Structure 1
Amino acid sequence: MNYFEGLEFFLFLLIVLCGGFVLNFFGKKKEVYILAISLIFAGTIYGQSKKMVVYLVAFIIYQYLLVMLSNRLEKKWLKTLSLLSVVPLVINKIFAITSLHLMAFIGISYMSFKTIQIMIEISDGIIKEKYSFLDYLQFLLFFPTVSSGPIDRSRRFFDDIKTIMPREAYLELAGTGVYRVVLGLLYKIMFSTYVYQMLSALKNTGTLTYSVKYMYLYTLYLFFDFAGYSLMAVGTSNILGVQTPMNFNKPFLSIDIKDFWTRWHITLSTWLRDFVFSRVLMNAMKKKLFKSRLQNASFAYMVNMCVMGFWHGLSISYVIYGVYHGFLMAGFEWYQKKSKFYKKNKNKTWYKLTSWFVTMHLVFIGFFIFSGEPLKLIMSILKR
């Protein structure tokens, strides 16, 4: 069994959601119930591999100790603690490309970012209360979002978990949740499966025509698969009375690359904006790494998107994908600030349509890189 996969999971999920609905409908506290269910899911899914259980338990204890230290140590220790927090993730990514698979367990990327968020906000004085071990466990193992997000924020999450919603407001949220779960199932089971079958049926001819077809189909598959999972995760959270943030907002209507990253994998891009981009930019301006704010911002975009690429993995395709989007974001920043043509035409309909078309194809090329298919094509050409 795995999260949001297989008949066994969904049958158990149905029972769990019925229990959650009853608790919320009658205005009862839900945090103990949700923690218990999350632990049952984790025990069942992670328990399929002894190594995975050992890695998970070691990771949770290690990270919680770092959170406790961030409560006690001065702010100057934040960088050290953050680096220590990301060590298990780095080990995971390094050994993911080998047969050893050290620190390999479901959700390590998302759990790492959740932990770093807590430590940074404690250091910034935004989080003033001390989280107990059970609180931390609740946040980390909240079962709808363990495997593939969305990446929630701890303060928002605990507000929801500990709040008893008025019945009318809850029923509206639960209704929305049911709709999202059904739509997510449609995306993931029907649409993504259909597109994947078309993708699998493509014959690798090594031509431009094949590459273009693969690029479009892979983008559609990636969207329906990931957006479908995210919708089910958010919908499940809603039925439990938790308003987990949405991860997608009509990304194929984006009119520029910045607009795209406010619509695609929203919780990841906002996490990176808040905890990587803004801090790199402030640090670069403080140390006067470059002469102008625009140059500092371009540097911050490059770092931000490279971190995004490495977060996905250390394969060449992911690294190039991050660098590619770094150049796109930095380039568009320059274009926005320096181009008179942009300032003169940005609100005109023809310009928006042209910008949309160009943006979408830049995004499609990015996903083509992400898929790893270009490297396969290059290798096949070299072999010939």
Structure 2
Amino acid sequence: MIPYGTFTFFLIALIVLLPVIILGLMGKRSYIYNGLSTVIMVVIIFSSHKHNLFGISYISTQLVSFIIYIIWQICIIMTYWKSKARRNSFAKFVVVIILSILPLVLVKIIQSSWLGHYQVILHESKVVSFIGFLGISYVTFKSVQLLMEIRDGSIKEVKFWKLIQFISFFPTISSGPIDRYKRFVKDDKKVPTGGEYNDLLIKAVHYIMMGFLYKYIIAYLIQKFAIAPLTLELTTFTGKWLYMYAYSMYLFFDFAGYSLFAIAFSYLYGVKTPENFNQPFKAKNIKDFWNRWHMTLSFWFRDCIYMRSLFYMSKKRMFKSQLLMSNIAFFINFFIMGVWHGLEVHYIAYGLYHGLMFIGYGYYERWKKQHPPKWQNKFTQALSIVITFHFVTFGFLIFSGKLF
């Protein structure tokens, strides 16, 4: 059952979480029931929809895959955590990172259209469904981030059950937002008072209502009355231009609606999962946009790819120019982001497009420091928002695969 995909899911989830809500309003928390409710919801999410009792009468290959994957990641993280105190080896760190992302890499390769005829054979042999499961990317991001923070020494303690709880946290399991281990554990350890939980509950209800508005009303209307008709008009310039706007709006409202659901159900557990969107189409430049759009993913790539690539090049003194190293790090960052979406050409082109925009804007910032604008006002700010919006929406047109 797809998370937040049907009203049945919401009904089941709210029934399962009812004891959590009642205890929360009393200023209490049962870690045993929290764990039990998570198990119930994970089984429902990964079980087959073709069977009775809400689909939980059948142990699907996705559920088996998820369980094996959790065991795999737990073994990697706990082994690295226990061995790090003895020797902080870079080679060991590289090995555990490769092992952690290996299942995701296999899924991306198998799902790639580059495999052509062999892709059909692999799908028919159930390889994809056995290796992969819904949300494998976001669970992998959590694991990789945790391994990096262990290496940095910013995480002082990793507990077995907290680790399982963090990785398998059902509200964000399929598409984020991507939380950080330290922040998650901090919220989990602090039991809110009845009054504090009441405030969280009010916010959760508000987010659920907003999520329904975004995903099931606005996004649905855009899909039905804009995207579907315009799909037939993509042979004309005007059709593609209008499709670019419609598709961009649909992406935002659909994904932002989902994120609001995930945050709301996190709040019901007393966990303040970070926001994912902050009025992204009000961005004044491309850097501002990525500080507003899918923020948890953007910050993950910034911290785990860009910053570490830049640090490695600086440490090895690979180039004399710090600007050149920063530009290469941006290029690597967005190329990997494109590949993560998929190995199809339009996804990779989307990543490279944003990498080039970041690099170009960096040069513009340097030029602007040397040539300060003579006047700035609300009109110039509005103009910068309009220009950024069109660059961003053109990127989404590339992402859609409908540009050519």
Normalised by the size of structure 1, how large is the TM-score? 0.93
Corresponding pairs, count: 374
1:168 deviates by: 1.9
Matches within 5 A, 1:96-245: 96-97=111-112, 98-99=119-120, 100-101=122-123, 102=128, 103-132=131-160, 134-198=161-225, 199-202=227-230, 203-245=232-274
In 1, the alpha carbon distance for the partners of 2:372 and 2:31 equals 51
Where does residue 356 of structure 1 map in the other structure?
A: 385
Deviates more, 1:121-130 or 1:15-24: 15-24
In 2, the alpha carbon distance for the partners of 1:358 and 1:4 equals 34
Matches within 5 A, 1:280-319: 280-319=309-348
**Over the residues paired in the alignment, what is the CA RMSD in angstroms?**
1.7
In 2, the alpha carbon distance for the partners of 1:308 and 1:347 equals 34
Maintained 8 Å contact 2:20/2:29: no
* Paired residue secondary structure (2:233): coil
Gapped runs of 5+ residues in structure 2?
49-58, 113-118
In 1, the alpha carbon distance for the partners of 2:282 and 2:304 equals 27
Where does residue 44 of structure 2 map in the other structure?
A: 44
In 2, the alpha carbon distance for the partners of 1:282 and 1:345 equals 36
1:341 deviates by: 7.0
In 1, the alpha carbon distance for the partners of 2:271 and 2:73 equals 24
From the superposition, tell whether residues 172 and 50 of structure 1 become closer, same or farther in structure 2 (CA, over 3 Å).
closer
In 2, the alpha carbon distance for the partners of 1:214 and 1:342 equals 37
Output one character per residue of 1:153-211: Cα deviation in whole Å (capped at 9) or x when no partner: 11111111221112222211221111011100111111111000021122235011010
From the superposition, tell whether residues 256 and 285 of structure 1 become closer, same or farther in structure 2 (CA, over 3 Å).
same
In 1, the alpha carbon distance for the partners of 2:329 and 2:70 equals 31
In 2, the alpha carbon distance for the partners of 1:257 and 1:40 equals 42
1:347 deviates by: 4.7
Matches within 5 A, 1:60-79: 60-71=70-81, 72-73=83-84, 74-75=87-88, 76=90, 77-79=92-94
- The residue identity in structure 1 corresponding to 2:145 is Q
Whether 2:104 is the aligned partner of 1:89: answer yes
In 1, the alpha carbon distance for the partners of 2:208 and 2:63 equals 29
In 1, the alpha carbon distance for the partners of 2:393 and 2:30 equals 42
1:342 deviates by: 6.3
Gapped runs of 5+ residues in structure 1?
379-384
- The residue identity in structure 1 corresponding to 2:139 is M
In 2, the alpha carbon distance for the partners of 1:287 and 1:353 equals 43
Aligned-residue identity in percent: 39
Maintained 8 Å contact 1:96/1:104: no
In 1, the alpha carbon distance for the partners of 2:371 and 2:207 equals 38
Maintained 8 Å contact 2:27/2:194: yes
Output one character per residue of 1:22-75: Cα deviation in whole Å (capped at 9) or x when no partner: 111112224332221121111122122632123212211111111022111433
Whether 2:69 is the aligned partner of 1:59: answer yes
In 2, the alpha carbon distance for the partners of 1:131 and 1:145 equals 20
Where does residue 381 of structure 1 map in the other structure?
A: none
* Paired residue secondary structure (1:344): coil
